[in-house]
Structure 1
């Protein structure tokens, strides 16, 4: 199980790196296009302000909207992968134990319920269980991104999300109240989520089932 999780999170890192490379290339391409097109017009040209606004809009899209949307999508994929990994761990425990109830992944927070299931039925000690605080903050951000377009004031747990964003150097809130993630946010948190799952896997190794 550990090797499978490690492989999937390594693959996620490769996707993050490729996406960030594509974002950088698109930003550079749009910058060069804007400079080239604007050079064709003198500032005193009639309608220059409209022309400038037109190309600046494209430049803003490449510098803000494209990275925001792609990083939102990757955050959602990262949380989904983590949820799936937790469910797989519960199913592994269910298959190894005698007369254990199956894990129900249909209602409520999958991660919190899976963690409770693993603690109870795999009898994990407290020292074997890593804190889920960061992971649950990321779940709240993911939910805000999916259901509210990343606008914090429209989200549940907006105060908690705001505090986490403020404390994290790789995330900010823009003038429209939207969560903005920089190029390091996903890389850093991918490592955190992978570490949490590896800790659970290590804990299961020391568990003996009847």
Structure 2
């Protein structure tokens, strides 16, 4: 039986259609789609280049921040607090999103506290909170609490110790901040609120804070 011939009309009318030869079909497909393919490959290359540039820029920023922090610490170590304040403010402002910038904010607050300027220290820490990483938020909140303690505002100090505990990523730090919160509440005369915290901490078998919690509960019981 003779093999059926291909439809001439179909062959002529679809010069761009794929043939029965798989290699020829693939070749034809690439010819038809070469521009979209090149555009896609080019897009991937541009994206990869952008990532590399970003990583390089980020690494460079971190390095510069580290060098700037080291330089700013020198007057602090030498006891030149006004000069240290000026230099640390620059680092904290310029590199606030980096670990070095956040460390600079912590040191800046300590400089203010040592100069008897708790309000300025608290402002510096609150400013740093906006760009702080999760690892730093607990420490910054606890230092804000320390600033309020210096101001003798123990109620506000307790509030920020609570925020520090909530932001902490480590259990030991969390329990420490909760204990500081309870102490501030006791000093503020809010024994009932303090007792609730100590009672929870007293349940932590094996944790170092458990012993103090039991002692504090005994002190609160004796006051009744």
With structure 2 as the length reference, what TM-score do the two structures score? 0.29
**Higher RCO by CA contacts (8 Å cutoff, separation 6 or greater):** 1
TM-score by length of 1: 0.31
Q: Which has the larger radius of gyration?
A: 2
